[in-house]
Copies of this chain bind each other. A is one copy, B any other.
Amino acid sequence: MDVIRLGLAGFGTVGTGLARILDINGERIEKRLGKRIEIRRVLVRDLDKTRSFDPGPGVTFTSDPEALVNDPDIDIVVELMGGLDTAKALILKAFAAGKHVVTANKHLLAVDGLELFEAAAASGTGLMFEASCAGGIPIVQTLKENLAGDEIVKMLGIMNGTANYILSEMTTKGMDFTTALDEAKALGYAEADPTFDIEGHDTAHKLCVLIRMAFGVDYPLDTLPVQGISTVTPLDIEFARRFGYRIKLLAHAKKVDDRLEAGVHPALVPYTYLLARVGGNYNAVRLEGNAVGPIMLHGQGAGDLPTGSAVLADIMNLARQTGGRCHMLDNTGFRNQHISMAAIVPPGESESKFYFRFTVADRTGVMAAIARSMAEHGVSIAQAVQDGEAGAEGVPLVIISHETRAEAAEAVIAEVDALDFSVEPCVCFRIL
């Protein structure tokens, strides 16, 4: 039987997960593929570290990247080390050595994806990355193949399990942000430094990767508006609930005429929407195609076996195509053609309903002043609530606006925050 030989760069959660799946599902995989998949070499930093799973006697561990990428007995390099420079160098060397690459590295793809696609095309090798977005959910393949004939007009995603877990705990148990974050850390859902997860950067990386597949254009990561969830308080969750919403960290992208509007923001999602029901550390992506209509994919966005399952899907996809019988390896879904820069809707021009929570001194004329500022900036008020006891910290005044430009909302906030009755900076989220 043909054997597809893997070289793994990194043997952490996902690498171990992949090895476990090959172990327990090996027979089924052979039956479906007519080929055996074997891990041959594993690149690790510390050769002496104890491993939670032993991939078997046929596997050589090495700490030398060259030994991995130049091993003539390896067909596919599986990059699971993360980070930017070292991973990129390894992948480029793998291409140069004629090896296919499967990676889960969304950060690298977001930053240097175009360069990697060009390098893969130049060497005629495959670059697959199902595991980079939303764990086990087959979103990359769905965009690249299943919906290839659709014009995607809109994409919404909950793509960070840590952030969603924290928001879910705050919502169902009334926890504050810090307590929920500590709990997520204790459960292993959040890393020691959770900045990427809670500040929206991880979601932004995934969004950049998916935008290319969905819209065929590149939205540079450094220009993408990104807002995290660390400013969300139990008070906001409670107000959102009163108005019929749940707060979720959303990646969004949509076509506005021939331009693309995109960003990562905490947003109030109507509680009747399926997206509002995505709980715990789950992920979901909702697509809207001009033919297929709305589609939602839901599943586990992280974890050893779910993400390992996505890595395996890519390996099997490549394995089906190797051995001389293969059609062109189309890494991008657009026949590896140059991906051009998106025409971008400037973030300030993007339109949304907004939730404003002002914290103000409890005195006459406050509502009038805020309402006047909003009117002057063309922000129309849909609902307003002021209640709660006045204390030294002021009272919350919540306003839900009609559809308005983000820059108008920002102008109102800057103006009101500067007024003497403002006790704390305004907290502002989008409403879906």
A residues sitting closer than 8 Å to B (CB atoms) are 17, 21, 24-25, 28-29, 31-34, 130, 136-138, 141-142, 145-151, 216, 274, 277, 289-300, 303, 305-306, 308-310, 312-313, 315-317, 320-321, 325-328, 330, 333-335, 337
Q: Once the chains bind, are A149 and B328 in contact (CB under 8 Å)? A: no
Q: Once the chains bind, are A316 and B25 in contact (CB under 8 Å)? A: no
Chain B residue at minimal CB-CB distance from A298: B296
Residues of B within 8 A of A299 (CB): 292-296
Residues of B within 8 A of A328 (CB): 325
| Other-chain residue from B149, B297, B316 in contact with A295 (beta carbon distance below 8 A) | B297
Give the one of A31, A147, A295, A312 with max B CB within 10 A: A295
Beyond contacts A138-B138, A146-B313: 12 other A-B pairs, Cβ-Cβ < 8 A, are A17-B291, A32-B335, A136-B289, A145-B313, A291-B312, A292-B300, A292-B306, A294-B300, A296-B298, A297-B297, A320-B330, A321-B327
- Of the A-B pairs whose beta carbons lie under 8 Å apart in the complex, a sample of 24, sorted by A's number, is A21-B149, A25-B149, A31-B216, A32-B148, A32-B216, A32-B333, A136-B292, A145-B317, A146-B313, A147-B309, A148-B313, A149-B315, A274-B277, A274-B298, A291-B305, A291-B306, A291-B309, A292-B309, A292-B310, A293-B299, A293-B303, A294-B299, A298-B298, A325-B327
Residues of B within 8 A of A28 (CB): 149, 151
Q: Once the chains bind, are B316 and A149 in contact (CB under 8 Å)? A: yes
Q: Once the chains bind, are A308 and B291 in contact (CB under 8 Å)? A: yes
Q: Once the chains bind, are B136 and A293 in contact (CB under 8 Å)? A: yes
Residues of B within 8 A of A326 (CB): 325, 327
Residues of B within 8 A of A148 (CB): 29, 32-33, 313, 316
A146 to chain B, nearest CB (A): 4
A61 to chain B, nearest CB (A): 23
Q: Once the chains bind, are B334 and A150 in contact (CB under 8 Å)? A: no
A283 to chain B, nearest CB (A): 10
Q: A32-B335, A306-B292, A308-B291 are in contact. Are A142 and B138 (CB under 8 A)?
A: yes
Residues of B within 8 A of A151 (CB): 24-25, 28
Distance in angstroms between the alpha carbons of A308 and B297 in the assembled complex: 20
Residues of B within 8 A of A290 (CB): 24-25, 305
Distance in angstroms between the alpha carbons of A327 and B297 in the assembled complex: 29
Chain B residue at minimal CB-CB distance from A286: B298
| Other-chain residue from B294, B305, B320, B330 in contact with A292 (beta carbon distance below 8 A) | B305
Chain B residue at minimal CB-CB distance from A308: B291
Distance in angstroms between the alpha carbons of A291 and B307 in the assembled complex: 9
Chain B residue at minimal CB-CB distance from A300: B293
Distance in angstroms between the alpha carbons of A60 and B251 in the assembled complex: 46
Q: Once the chains bind, are B292 and A150 in contact (CB under 8 Å)? A: no
Q: Once the chains bind, are A145 and B316 in contact (CB under 8 Å)? A: yes
Residues of B within 8 A of A145 (CB): 141, 313, 316-317
Distance in angstroms between the alpha carbons of A316 and B144 in the assembled complex: 11
Chain B residue at minimal CB-CB distance from A294: B299
Chain B residue at minimal CB-CB distance from A295: B299
| Other-chain residue from B146, B274, B316 in contact with A138 (beta carbon distance below 8 A) | B146
Q: Once the chains bind, are B295 and A295 in contact (CB under 8 Å)? A: no
Q: Once the chains bind, are A25 and B291 in contact (CB under 8 Å)? A: yes
Residues of B within 8 A of A333 (CB): 32
Residues of B within 8 A of A130 (CB): 146
Distance in angstroms between the alpha carbons of A61 and B401 in the assembled complex: 55
Residues of B within 8 A of A33 (CB): 148, 335
Residues of B within 8 A of A294 (CB): 299-300
Q: Once the chains bind, are A309 and B150 in contact (CB under 8 Å)? A: yes
